[in-house]
Each structure stands twice: as structure tokens, then as C-alpha cells.
Amino acid sequence: EDQVTQSPEALRLQEGESSSLNCSYTVSGLRGLFWYRQDPGKGPEFLFTLYSAGEEKEKERLKATLTKKESFLHITAPKPEDSATYLCAVHDQAGTALIFGKGTTLSVSS
Amino acid sequence: NAGVTQTPKFRVLKTGQSMTLLCAQDMNHEYMYWYRQDPGMGLRLIHYSVGEGTTAKGEVPDGYNVSRLKKQNFLLGLESAAPSQTSVYFCASSYGPTPETQYFGPGTRLLVL
């Protein structure tokens, strides 16, 4: 069964304290792994798509990496505005639907 | 571009009532999706459409119906609402199947009493 597991469930950081979020997945024939950011009361906002092991993508203080079994979202020197829930998703075997993890809620305090 | 919009933003229903949630996109996307998000469950696919006039079941389709009469609109209907359908509903759209990116709307919060 295709699965996506994110850890930790919640993460509290001080401003400037770098850390990483983990997304482990099991799916046959990965075609894409997606990272989204979700603010309270809002819809998920697309961040990155990773297609193959070894690939990396960056956006401001965020960097996403991918291996054959997991993906990491590295947050460098976070700011309070980075506080949000970060969602990871992979496609199902049919390639139509996304299977989402439960998310990691990040809180950054100043 | 407005992207993906959803109507209404919030609704309260009594058990047994019916309602329709509307999703509209202005990106000329072929694919559209309805998800529900519940605490501790993550987003789960209800129904999806791969083009005008088509619909298909997702992971949790029971109690819902959908229609895609126009390319830009995707409707989600609840014929007889149940408390278990209390959730936040998100619509999404994409140019095509994975790995095309899915873009999400702002959500509809539904409370069934």
C-alpha cells in the first residue's frame, strides 16, 4: 500500500535555528514527490516537485532533497513567517491522485 | 488570474440536508479534484475529473456526488449530510496527471449538526 509518513508532527524552533523535516514514502515507480505549505485556514500552497533521487530544489530559506526512500525539507535560519504546516505528497499508482502525509507543523519564535 | 476559487467559504448544515460546493478555476486546467481534510488524517481524495463531462471516484467517495459540466467548474454535492461529513473541503486543479502540479483553492469549512 502506498504510504507517506512525515516526522516530526510538530517542531518548535527559535528564529535562526536551522532544522529539517522528514517525509518517508513507499510507492512503486515514483513519478514525483511534492511539498506544500499550508497556513491556518488556507489551502495548500505549492513549494516543490522532486522527480528523482539526488535531486535538490531551493526557494529562499527552504531546500528540498530526495532519496529513494525519503525526502527532507531543510529550513535554514528560519523566520517567524516560516511558521506553517508543511505537507508532503506522492502520487498513487494510477498517477492520478496525490497521497498526502499528515504534515509537520512548524512554529518559529523570535 | 484568480486561480482556484471555492464557494461558499463556510456552511452549517443539519443532518439530512443537501448542499452543493462549487469550485471554479481560470487556468484552463483539464484535471480537477475534491479533497477533504480532517484533523490527524491528512488530505484525502473524494472524487476527481480528467476533463469536461468526466468524473471518477477517489479514496473516500461515499455520500458525495460530483459533476463537471463545464471545464472550469467542478461541483461537489452532498445529498443527505451526515455529521461524519464535517470537514474542510479543498478543490484542486492541474494541467494533467502526475507529475503536473495540483493547485489548491482556499477551502470550504462544513459543519454538519
- Measure in Å the smallest separation between the Cα of B11 and chain A Cα atoms: 14
Q: What is the mean pLDDT for each group of 10 consecutive residues in chain B (113 residues)?
A: 93 97 97 94 93 94 96 97 97 89 96 97
Q: CA dist B41 to A38, A99, B45, B68, B83, Å?
A: 15, 11, 12, 27, 16
Q: Look-up: residue for cell 504534515?
A: A103
Q: Please check the confidence at residue A2 and state whether its pLDDT lies above 70.
A: no
Beta-carbon separation of B90 and A44 below 8 A: yes
Lowest mean pLDDT among A2-11, A77-86, A88-97, B78-87: A88-97
3-state secondary structure B57-112: ECCCCCCEEEECCCCCEEEEEECCCCHHHCEEEEEEEECCCCCCCCEECCCEEEEE
> Which chain B residues are closer than 8 Å to A30 by Cβ?
none
Dihedrals φ, ψ of A88, to 5°? -115, 145
Q: Look-up: residue for cell 512548524?
A: A106
Q: What is the mean pLDDT of chain A?
A: 93
Instruction: Establish if A68 touches chain B: CB-CB under 8 angstroms.
Output: no
Q: Please check the confidence at residue A104 and state whether its pLDDT lies above 90.
A: yes
> Which chain A residues are closer than 8 Å to B102 by Cβ?
34, 46, 98
